[in-house]
Structure 1
Amino acid sequence: MIDLKELLINSNYKKEIEELINISNLSLKHWQTYWTGFNSTFVCEEILKEFENLNDFKFFVFGGYNSAQRSKIACFREDNTPEKNELIKDFPAKGFQMNGNFLFDNATQDDFRSLLVDNGLREERIGDIWTIGDRGAQGIIDDSKIEFLDEKIFSLRDVKVKIKIVSLDELQIPAGRSKKIINTVEASTRIDAIASAGFRISRNKILERIETGMLKLNGKTVKKGTISLKVGDKLQLDNKGFIEILDLEITKRERWKIKLLRK
């Protein structure tokens, strides 16, 4: 059995690590593959660093398509490793379509995610969601006990939305976000300044997202925009991906030359 206390010391992802420990122990006992719920793909990759020295286990991160922003982790015994194609084929998720007329009332990914949560789905059961023009959205959800959603009609603000459960093959998969190096010069290393430059949105909108709990620093929700960042810090913004601080250098004019990795 895995020692829970040892892996949880000083971790920013205690809940996620505890879940992975639990399914790892199940995998060890039953010789089967088990999956976690959905977390951000970045967080999945971060917590697996804590498991690098566990020689009895192997892991696989997948979210329904190659560039998914939210993924599950599969755990299996090293001496009972399935083929990658088999893991993808047996991925425990379905697709969904939300059809509605949003021509005059635009809706965001967060709006559709909130609709699912408000109607009985926990956050960890919901993968990626993407909008389909003004016609609604598509996305990926855990395939367990979702029959109650199929063909149901809900209201998103004043728009009627019909949900249909489909196979992953029927989805219009969005284009993946490639990694990108961003160089910027800022007056400070404050989190609101760097997040604005890295995610390419205004500082006011960054502050709005901080107020609503959408920005995380090294896995923890940010509560104020005045925090100073350092090399190695990682920011996550819901539906916008991640940025990592690669380098900070003070210039002769006492401004900050900043190198970021966006992914």
Structure 2
Amino acid sequence: MLPRQSLLDGSRAPTDLGALIDQAEEALRTWQPRWSPFVAAAVAEEAEERLGQLTELTVTARGGWPQAERSRLCFSRRTGEGEEAGPPAGEAEAPAPITALELAGNFLFDPADASDFRNALLAAGAEPGDLGDLWVRGDRGAQLLATPELAERLLEQQNQGPLLVRTVPVQIERLSLEQLQFPSRRAPRRLSSVEASCRLDAVASAGFGLSRSRMVALIRAGAVRLNWAAVSSPSRELVAGDRIQLDNRGELTIEAVEPTKRERWRLVMLRR
């Protein structure tokens, strides 16, 4: 048995982490690899950090593309130095159980965002753990990474009628991962800025290149997370090591904070 209580102590998501510990224990008990449902980036990061330190266990994350925010974790037993039980040789490079889907429709007169697509999928019977990353492709619909089981259900269900996203019927088609058109992401960039304060709205505004008023509105709308936790106060003070996540715009890490001679703050930030 794994040291559950020590693994859970101080966890940001103890319920989610507890479910992953159950799967890790099953992999150890059966000597067979176990894939988790899709989990949020914060949960995957915490599980890799905590469970990945165990000598008898190997943890591998796969999200369907290199910059995936949601991923599935594979737990497998390590039988000896450099040797793992369960997965065949090369398992780490083998495709994960992830299916790509196209959700095509004409959204020119009824635009939809990612939450509209997710809500429609959940209403159609999907579980949150069935859904990986999803991105909208203008007025043409969206693309989605999902569990193979959900993909099969959705393809069968559309024989009975199309999935509705807002008022728009969508056609669901299975794709290969190579056919996906992933959303563009910026290359990592190190930034330097001098600010009057270390408030969240000021720092995030400088780091993400948005106006202060726009950043305040995003924070109050729940689009910003601080160290993966929801935050609603624009005046939250930041320190070196803090990480700011902004929906669809990546992450900003505060690498250094130093006072200047004019009682301002010089910040070094890494945007990914």
* Aligned with 2:207 (options 194, 198, 202): 198
Q: Gaps (5+ residues) in structure 2? A: 80-84
Partner of 2:96: 91
**For the residues of structure 1 that align with 2:190 and 2:42, how far apart are their CA atoms?**
17
Which amino acid in 1 is paired with 2:175?
V
* Aligned with 1:136 (options 135, 141, 157): 141
State the TM-score, normalized to the length of structure 1: 0.87
* Aligned with 1:217 (options 226, 232, 253): 226
**For the residues of structure 1 that align with 2:162 and 2:220, how far apart are their CA atoms?**
31
CA distances 1:125-152 after superposition (whole Å, capped 9, x unpaired) = 2111122232111120122244332235
**Bigger CA drift: 161-170 or 236-245?**
161-170
Instruction: Give the structure with higher Rg (CA).
Output: 2
Trace 1:1-263 onto structure 2 (pairs within 5 A): 1-41=1-41, 43-79=43-79, 80=85, 82=87, 85-87=90-92, 89-150=94-155, 151=158, 152-263=161-272
CA distances 1:233-259 after superposition (whole Å, capped 9, x unpaired) = 122223322221111112222222111
Q: Using a 3 Å threshold, how does the CA distance of structure 1 residues 21 and 56 change in structure 2: closer, same or farther?
A: same
Quote the offset at 1:88 in angstroms: 5.0
Which amino acid in 1 is paired with 2:116?
D
Q: Using a 3 Å threshold, how does the CA distance of structure 1 residues 182 and 126 change in structure 2: closer, same or farther?
A: farther
* Runs of 4+ deviating beyond 6 Å: none
| Secondary structure class of the residue paired with 1:18 | helix
**For the residues of structure 2 that align with 1:8 and 1:227, how far apart are their CA atoms?**
27
Quote the offset at 1:171 in angstroms: 2.3
**For the residues of structure 2 that align with 1:170 and 1:194, how far apart are their CA atoms?**
37
Quote the offset at 1:6 in angstroms: 0.9
**For the residues of structure 1 that align with 2:205 and 2:90, how far apart are their CA atoms?**
39
Which amino acid in 2 is paired with 1:241?
G
**Bigger CA drift: 12-21 or 2-11?**
12-21
Counting matched residue pairs gives 263
